[in-house]
Amino acid sequence: MERNDPEPDDRGSQRKHLRKELRARRAAVSREVRATVVQHVRGALDGVIAARNSAGLEPPKIAFYWPIHGELSLVDLMKDVAGQELTVLLPVVTGPDEPLEFREWTRSTPMRRGAWNIPEPAEGKDVTPDVLLVPLVGFDERRYRLGNGGGYYDRTLASRVPRPRAIGIGFEVLRLPTIHPEPHDVPMDLILTEADPDLDRIASWWD
């Protein structure tokens, strides 16, 4: 039987159109739904803190993100939790084909405009996160993520040692049967939307 998977050039074109459609869906998500997802992220962070404490590990280093294109904003949550049983990191783009670097962020951290005018810490050493909070354009039933197309998070997850746990942040309107993952695509460890989250899986991440 012949496979019906699209050819590479077709996949690129299809993903481009799919991103446009999904971004429109994401932009229309209500404040109430967004608030629910933020609550689920807070619950996941509490689970991460508890899991690492139970394993006798240091408090977690959590890589947040600065939202663009209608992504869920976690900036207020980031401000609330900074310095409280976890370290907040933000991504820094160092080149178009490079993995992300991460620098510590506090309320007093000097910021600059980086790639695509996204705020990032102006200085600081690169730190390996324990957990990445990863914004989603789309996702599928196997927790593969459709992102903005730059491949930054995939390269980061493939190159970081130890590999951080990855929590995808999105909404149910972004759920797809499959994104037709490519060899370089890396699945998320957990997806958070407005649906009831499966936070129990976090407890075994550092066993």
pLDDT value at residue 96: 87
- Specify the DSSP class assigned to residue 14: H
pLDDT value at residue 2: 35
Task: Please state, in angstroms and as integers, the Cα–Cα distance from residue 129 to each residue in 75, 126, 132, 184, following that order.
Answer: 18, 10, 7, 20
Residues 6+ apart with CB under 8 A from 11: 5, 180, 182
pLDDT value at residue 184: 86
**Dihedral over Cα of 180, 185, 188, 193: its sign:** negative
Write out the CATH class of domain 55-204: alpha beta
Sequence ranges of the domains in the chain: 55-204
| Averages of pLDDT over each 10 residues, the chain, 207 residues | 45 86 98 99 98 97 97 98 95 94 97 95 98 98 94 94 97 96 93 98 96
pLDDT value at residue 56: 97
pLDDT value at residue 83: 87
Q: Is 160 exposed, middle or buried (0-12, 13-18, 19+ CB in 10 A)?
A: middle
pLDDT value at residue 15: 87
Cα 156 to Cα 128: distance, rounded to the nearest angstrom: 10
